[in-house]
Structure 1
């Protein structure tokens, strides 16, 4: 109740996770989540959320996600066009697959994840928050990319969500080495990196 931003309409802007070891689905874990802080953004206010997962007292996963609450700021008066969000250079990554995303993708992922943010569900509810069409969940987008890319058991993954993925739509998955991207016809939707952890960083103190 003390969280100062409206939950409905929050937009995922970045994701940085470190997994220190394989995590069996049958394992037992202690989960802790807290908001690290708020920061001004050119489109509103951004919140950083820290998630820590422990097994037998040891940290086995930690992640930081940033979420944007869009509102007017003194730096972005009404009517000011948004700056372009594409990232030059990501077009150099070779395309490996094309994915056709259905109009019900947001509703299907919401049913699986419990994240029923209205910007993902239906054109009418998305328009209330300034989106002409529903958009894919950021976590679906990065998870789909990682499923195609593959990850080692001990890994650091960083992703930046640059532009919404409108539904329905068609996107292409591009990757080379430890870099990946999700691209549309005229923009890059997300970019990311996958880095295996060295032996020195694979264990965490209790």
Structure 2
């Protein structure tokens, strides 16, 4: 593994400047076969409780000092943006597709803790629709890494078509959610992810969408909010983002016990939007959305 150059930041990167850089430098980023050997470090970040409460509300969590397992992703997002707009980063941000997000936590994080974040890019590899890579964020407290998030992105172009994914029959829904038209703007205000495809139908049409679409990480957080109180103290939640949720929307959420954890999906009729799994620490990992459920005989049961 190539040794990384660590840059210690004195403050949270400015997202407005990062978005401006993303737009201005996009035409010059032609791709490549190497990611920057760079790690960004933000030490001892204090959690803003008002911001945390706003995140709780927009994603459907109960107000608490314990951080939802998706919340550190929001705290690390400015570092990820700073990394992906670095001059050595090969791909333009406009057009990147968020394929997958995997979060592992060793214990709950709390609002009173000071959290150090490290962000890097790795695992550049061919994909059937282009080139994929991972952005990895790590959160540590007092020198101990307690949370890791791995987001897989796709740069489309080239590649070889793979086998079509086999679609299983959708499970019976656990709940039906009405997703409002403004959820993209509301989540953007909290997360800082102001990608125009989430904000307004006219902006979304410039990128090929009929309407604005929900953030994938909002959909993931909303699923975990629905499982709140039933998640393990330590574990891994792994999701694959499929078809976008066009706003406004009515979608079905389905969750079931599977392999000691949970398997869950979000669908619109037969159209899959997200599939995921929750596995407690120490369990055998399985691909997102593909863990088998235990027998229940006799019962009924981004793109950037």
- Whichever of the two has the greater Rg, that structure is 2
Residues 75-115 of structure 1: per-residue CA shift (max 9 Å, x gap)? 47xxxxx9866x52261x33111111111111111011000
- Call closer, same or farther: CA 1:119–1:9 in 2, change over 3 Å: farther
Scaled by the length of structure 1, the TM-score of the pair is: 0.85
Q: How many residues align?
A: 191
Aligned Cα RMSD in Å? 2.1
CA contact (8 A) 1:90 1:181 kept: no
User: Normalized per residue, which structure has more helix?
Assistant: 2
Map 1:182-197 to 2 at 5 A.
182-197=266-281
- Call closer, same or farther: CA 1:45–1:25 in 2, change over 3 Å: same
Scaled by the length of structure 2, the TM-score of the pair is: 0.59
Is 1:3 paired with 2:89? yes
- Which consecutive aligned stretches of 4+ in structure 1 deviate over 4 angstroms post-superposition? 82-85
Map 1:162-201 to 2 at 5 A.
162-177=242-257, 178-198=262-282
State the structure with bigger RCO (CA 8 A, min sep 6), 1 or 2: 1
CA contact (8 A) 1:90 1:188 kept: no
Structure 2 unaligned residues grouped into runs of 5+: 1-85, 284-304
| 1:73 aligned partner | 158
CA contact (8 A) 1:9 1:117 kept: no
Structure 1 unaligned residues grouped into runs of 5+: 77-81, 200-206
CA contact (8 A) 1:94 1:176 kept: no
Task: Provide the C-alpha distance between the structure 1 equivalents of 2:131 and 2:198, rounded to a whole number of angstroms.
Answer: 20
| 2:133 aligned partner | 47
User: Normalized per residue, which structure has more strand?
Assistant: 1
1:35 is displaced (CA, Å) by: 0.6
